[in-house]
Structure 1
Amino acid sequence: MSLHHNQPKGLFLLFFVEMWERFSYYGMRALLVLYMVKYLMFSTEKAGRIYGWYTGLVYLTPLLGGYIADRYLGQRKCIIIGAVLMALGHFAMAFPSLPFFFSALGLLILGNGFFKPNISTVVGSLYEPNDPRRDAGFTIFYMGINLGALFSPLVCGTLGEKVGWHYGFGAAGVGMLMGLAMYLWGQKALLGDKCMKPAFIHGNRIEDKPLTHIEKQRIAVIFIMAFFVIFFWAAFEQAGSSLTLFADRETNRALSLFGYSWEMPASFFQAVNPLFILILAPFFSKLWVRLGEAQKEPPSPIKFVWGLGLLAVGFVVMIAAAAVYQQSGPVSVMWLMAAYFFHTMGELCLSPVGLSLVTKLAPAKFVSLLMGTWFLANFAANFVGGFFAGNYDAMNHTLFYMIPTGTAVGAGLLLLALTPQLRKWMHGVH
């Protein structure tokens, strides 16, 4: 069966809306640290701290956005509000002043809070509770995320580093407007009345019904799994900070082909992960289907363990790359390519699986709120990861990359030990 077999039409609208939103987010993120260090002349430590706060807070505000959607506005209105705020934020980045810079970060953080948990919830609403197409649908949606993330560093990174920083940020704003326009054009025809109203409506049975024992245990699983997500993303998000600095300073980016020489912008490495996602996601989707047909598909906690293990392998590659640099200077681009390859495989075992799992475990009246809670783990992870990246210049880089390797291995082993109990609390959800 093909990956897109009989998927709801609304999924493909959400695919392209999310693609443009992620184009804007990752285009801006690819430039952020380099812009602060090279244009605003911030120290590496200060830039790392700001990057950590920004990438952390964009995952804190979804808790607020999910609550407002569930209680007051519904997911569809919140998506529009979030898209407008983020477009304004990206265009504000195009103005070369510190007040505009920090105001832009604030708009982007707030807008993401309205947008991010609610578009994932709308994807989940396209399927009945036991619909076997759900995981494949989230894999398609995740490919949309990474299609946008693939092209944004190439477009925004080239404009920002080669033409002017503010052209790169402006291109990110145009991408967000494209996503908003597509959503406004297609939502009524392709989504119908799904998620138009909040789950909490006065007199609605959903509001009055107390949580059952099974629902409470399933919610507990969401929180426990979110805890382990922190360890994954704190290490993974070095891609936008310490790994970008490694690409800029310690990697030989000079390429020569048919007598033409060209130095690859450091921001281009931000496109490697989404490129690998687009190549590998269909394989992983088919792998889960084949294992399921053979009654051998691992439960979600075990997939998370695989993800943490593969992440650790990627950082072992970086330990070796840092050691080579210390011995002989700038290293081949293949070191970073190999690290991103393992990181991407780990991501595919964890991230789309986690999004799907939340929509399966969460009670109807708390879906957006619990999706926001899921992203709250990313807040903690990005804050920790940014704080850690701020020590990049002060530490031996071989030792620096040993730390995320060790935390990923430790978290994976602990989750493996907890898996039997988690499976009991999931009550049949795989």
Structure 2
Amino acid sequence: MATPNNPRERNWFGHPPGLTILFLTEMWEMFSFFGMRALLVYYMTKHLDIQQEYASLIYGVYAAFVYFTPVFGGIVADRWLGKRKAVIIGGATMALGHFMMASEPLFYPALATIALGNGLFLPSLASQIEGLYREGDPRSKSAYNVYYVGVNIGAFIAPLICGSLGEAYGWHWGFAAAGIGMLTSLVIYLGGQHHLPPEAQRAGTHQPVRAPLDHSAWRRLAFLIGVAAIIVVFRGAYEQVGNTIALWADEGVDRHVTAGWSIPMTWFQSLDSLVVFTATPLLLARWARLAKRGIETPWLHKMAFGAAVVGLSYVLLAGVSAWAVAHGTRAHWAWLTGWFVLMTLGELYILPVGLGLFGRMAPDGFRATCIAIWFFAGFFGNLLAGALGTLWSPLSHGWFFMLIGGVAGLAALLLYVVGLRLGQVEKRENAGLAAMLSR
């Protein structure tokens, strides 16, 4: 475990080596996940001839279960398997599922296999971050943002490789490339295990797994569940990226750059991650400058601002789409590029910040479970996104994007109000928690 302020401590990029191992492992897992996601809606509508409404619903249900299974996977990892075994078993299961996608009759079983493997993999990997740092190590404040940058490198290159293979040579080639990415993730994790924090005692051993939950811990859990409920609303808007936004890139966007070449529709899915790992260092530097001046925005208010920016991006897209339809043309590809930039800037204020919030507030012995609760919000959020996606065909694109902008705006309002209320409660009952949340 890393020791803060120790000049002899071994560091990679200013952090414990284990952080690099974790984000490289997750980088290739993200490559496999986003590589498959970039193809999924197109594969269903263009190859399997599934109607758009049902394809969007299937996409939403699949994405929902990707976030549902980590709840049980986190509990299994905390109580029985341990984080390392859970990552290995989950990663191997996901790799199998990706290769199964290459067979049409195995389409639905493959989706289920990936979701099950992800349940063990996702919370067990991210929950090891906090164990790399001793209490009081200032580097831990930026660890989740650094991790978020690393994993998004995989999400950036995935559509470029898997998407290009799928569009040019056949969808099955893209799915196979995603499977290879998952195997690469496993190799990196197995090779770097000695840099990771030691496993804690679990149920069935002679030592207690965790201290019993006191009143303060229960209040933390209740607070995290409340925040997760608001994130459900936000994800109803955010998760349109791989669903209706992908459909609009195909139907409503002029992707021609030259007379003989058009931007592949799957490539736009890389823009989100490109903005993440280019803008995050600038954002962290800005937050550090503000902190030196004594200006530190509470975490929930940062998240509210991010949701508001995402809502604004959809409202602007509604105007662009309505203008294009009114003039009988398609929107220029630069508008979709600009939307990804603005939307992702908002994302950086909410998703990595929220992940860090859940990691830091988790009671001892329940970190993987609390990380799983964060991802569990994605279950209901993706169900909501899939349900909203069924309105894509009945509504005009402009009105649809306006609706999605309103959903994100509602999440922003709720986060802001809860942030205000929480601050008042903390002043009376839990000043220590208030200090944690305002870091």
Matched residues in 1 for 2:409 and 2:117: separation? 35
Post-superposition Cα deviations, 1:202-253, rounded to whole Å, max 9, x if no partner, equal 443453x322222222222211211121122211111101100100011001
For 1:323, the equivalent position in structure 2 comes to 322
Equivalent residue, structure 1, for 2:125: 119
Distance 1:170 1:214 in 2: 48
Quote the offset at 1:255 in angstroms: 1.1
RMSD: 1.6
Per the TM alignment, residue 175 of structure 1 is displaced from its structure 2 partner at its CA by: 0.5
Are residue 196 (structure 1) and residue 199 (structure 2) matched?
A: yes
One-letter identity of the residue aligned with 1:294: R
- The 1-side partners of 2:202 and 2:344 are apart by 35
- Alpha-carbon separation, structure 2, partners of 1:159 and 1:354: 34
8 Å CA contact retained: 2:84, 2:124? yes
Give the Cα separation in 1 of the matches to 2:135 and 2:350.
21
Match of 1:429 among 423, 429, 436: 436
> What is the SS of the residue equivalent to 1:229?
helix
Amino acid at match of 2:344: T
8 A Cα contact 1:129 1:360, kept in partner: no
Match of 2:385 in 1: 385
Query: SS in structure 1 opposite 2:253?
Result: coil
1:153-232 aligned within 5 A: 153-188=159-194, 190-191=195-196, 194-200=197-203, 202-207=205-210, 209-232=211-234
Tell me the equivalent position of 1:286: 285
Which residue identity lines up with residue 25 of structure 2 in the other structure?
Answer: V
Alpha-carbon contact 2:201-2:207 (below 8 Å) kept: no
Query: What does residue 244 of structure 1 align with?
Result: 246
Instruction: Determine if contact 1:76/1:195 at 8 Å carries over to the other structure.
Output: no
Among 117, 129, 138, the alignment partner of 2:135 is: 129
Q: Deviations over 1:268-295 (max 9, x none)?
A: 1100110111110101111221222222
Match for 1:16: what amino acid?
A: L
The answer on 1:52 being equivalent to 2:60 is yes
Which secondary structure does the structure 2 equivalent of 1:428 belong to? helix
Q: Distance in 2 between matches of 1:396 and 1:199?
A: 54
Q: Which runs of 5+ in 1 are unaligned?
A: none
Which residue of 38, 42, 48 corresponds with 2:46?
A: 38
Q: Which segment is superposed worse, 108-117 or 383-392?
A: 383-392
Deviates further, 195-204 or 149-158: 195-204
Give the TM-score of the pair, scaled to structure 1: 0.94
- The CA deviation string for residues 365-391 of structure 1, in whole angstroms up to 9 with x for no partner, is 111111111111011111110111122
Given that residues 271 and 340 in structure 2 are in contact (C-alpha distance below 8 angstroms), is that contact kept between their aligned partners in structure 1? yes
Amino acid at match of 1:332: H
- Summarize the Cα distance change of 1:238–1:114 in structure 2 as closer, same or farther, 3 Å threshold: same
Hey, what's the Cα distance between the residues in 1 that align with 2:145 and 2:315? Answer: 27
Match of 1:61 among 55, 65, 69: 69
Matched residue, 1:271: 270
- Give the structure 2 partner of residue 397 of structure 1: 397
TM-score, reference length from structure 2: 0.92
- Offset of residue 48 of structure 1: 0.5
Structure 1 SS opposite 2:261: strand
Distance in 1, matches of 2:339 and 2:91, equals 33
Greater shift in the superposed pair: 347-356 or 404-413: 404-413
